[in-house]
Structure 1
Amino acid sequence: MKADNMAVIFHPAAVQEFLRSRRWYAKRDLRVEQRFAEAVNDAIARAEAAPESHPVFRGQFREVRVRRFPFAIYFRLENAAGNPSIAVYAVAHTSRRAGYWVRRRSPGE
């Protein structure tokens, strides 16, 4: 269930992963790059709309797949000072080693 004022916070490494992947697609086809960005935004919106509906990954994280692309968004529900948020830890290509990002510190710290 989504809280009315749920914020989405991105780990700096997740932002870099997204930008790096977007540049990779842009070098090949600008239309595909745009579709990739839209698909990532859609995945984040789905996580925000119903965070607890996505599969659990390693106990405390959740995974939402990016439609039409081999990527997944890994996030965790956080509640700092009574403010619920979604903390995005990774924008990961599905061919990468699972959980490589697990040791990242909370982006809210």
Structure 2
Amino acid sequence: MQTEKKECCCCSHKTKERTEKEYKDLLNRLSRIEGQVRGIRKMVETDCYCTDILVQVSAVNAALNSFNKVLLANHIRTCVAEDIREGKDETIDELVTVLQKLMR
């Protein structure tokens, strides 16, 4: 677990403490995705062929989908399961809303 408490700058009210392994895994995935996006930018800047860029964009989309799957699975196993055990049924509505957004 992280040693210092970090404020969430992008969410309205909830935070989540993650294990050190989960934290590192998520950040490593995001770092790889950032690298891929920088690579795509360089491809555009150096006038690479369109289909080569499209293939790389597809790879980034797949990496983001994989990130979402890992994060969603962790969320269900921890936050959702704990809230259901505590009788917080509104968490189910929240999960349904998130799944609907993800499936657009």
Answer yes or no: same fold by TM over 0.5. no
User: RCO greater where, 1 or 2, for CA within 8 Å and sep 6 or more?
Assistant: 1
Q: State the TM-score, normalizing by the size of structure 2.
A: 0.34
| Larger helix fraction of residues | 2
